[in-house]
Amino acid sequence: MTPTRSSVRLSDGRELIYFDESPGSSRSSFQDTRQLPPPPPASQLRYDPLTDEWIAVAAHRNTRTFLPPSDACPLCPTSERFASEIPAPDYDVVVFENQFPSFSDRIVPDEITQVTDLVPVRPGHGRCEVVCFTSDHNSAFGSLPVSRVRTVVDALADRTAELSALPEVAQVFPFENRGVEIGVTLHHPHGQIYAYPTVTPKTAAYLRAARRHFEKTGRNLYADVLAAEQEAKVRVVAANEHWTAYVPAAARWPFEVHVAPHRQVPDLPALTDDERDAFAPLYLDVLRRFDGLFGKPMPYISAWHQAVTGEGRELGYLHLQLFSIRRAADKLKYLAGSESAMGAFVNDIVPEAAAQRLRDI
């Protein structure tokens, strides 16, 4: 069932959207009682000529909220004792503009247009949103019911469609960071959406490889990779009628799984109802296997790779990348010299062994 969508404005003008599972319900009557200062202007984008990449400089993010106590969590519903980012006393799924965004549509003319002749500067035009998966502060995505995961997917699809239509947005990236080891600043179960003004370096690399493969074979690269994994079977962790979860043959991370639809689609809005329904139980199964590896909550990053909005969109293939930096019960994989300085990954665990351990949970 499609969730009921209602939108309100917070006291500083930022948009907040409720996605309610009860038919006809709306929480938009609840108003933000706080007196907030205006949101910060957009960040700077500075061009790095050595790597052909744009780097965002967002100094206002250095003051963002950091691991507050549970009774002062800005992602919990508003109560009599504390007014949070969500004015309603309860909610199912809610999305709102980030108070400390890396990218924004609030553009203020900047006196700096270049740092040197080789380093131009431009506004970080785009949008950053927060996605709260549940009002339960002590829950986790892997503990959500299948119906709630479907609501989250519908919310992400809604936001992807709307943000992709903005002329300044090059790609839309929904993701979740989980665990203090990953660097979360809020414990409440939540994710984020970045609407980037440029194509990210990882996506640019994907597009270059996909274009070469298409010019050589006339086929989609990710579709061929998925077909090869399905045929090999040895790295497949779980599958159903519409999705396959597998460990990539050249996985960078100790435990890494891709969850991919069997049909090439560019992004979340393109998924059918059946595909959205089938995703939830498979993904929850994989998350619970991650938590079962070491008998405790697994820190992870869950990243939706979607097609870009412009040139190269036809090469995209929607898939979810789930990975953890934990390589043993008491050990983390740090991105040290080779990974951080050179971008050359060295994995500590053989992908086939990782897939077998996940299947065994």
Name the DSSP letter for residue 124. -
Helix (H) or strand (E) holding 127: strand 127-132
Q: How far is CA 100 from the centre of its chain?
A: 17
| DSSP bridge partners of 326 | 332
User: What are the tokens at 194?
Assistant: 């970045």
User: What are the tokens at 348?
Assistant: 């500590």
CA–CA dist 81, 102 (Å, integer): 30
Residue 210 to residues 222, 223, 253, 335, Cα–Cα distance (Å): 8, 10, 22, 27
User: What is the three-class DSSP state of 110?
Assistant: coil
User: What is the three-class DSSP state of 209?
Assistant: helix
| Cα-trace Rg, the chain | 21
The answer to whether residue 190 is catalytic is yes
CA–CA dist 144, 158 (Å, integer): 20
Determine which one of 187, 188, 190, 258 is catalytic. 190
Active site positions, annotated? 190
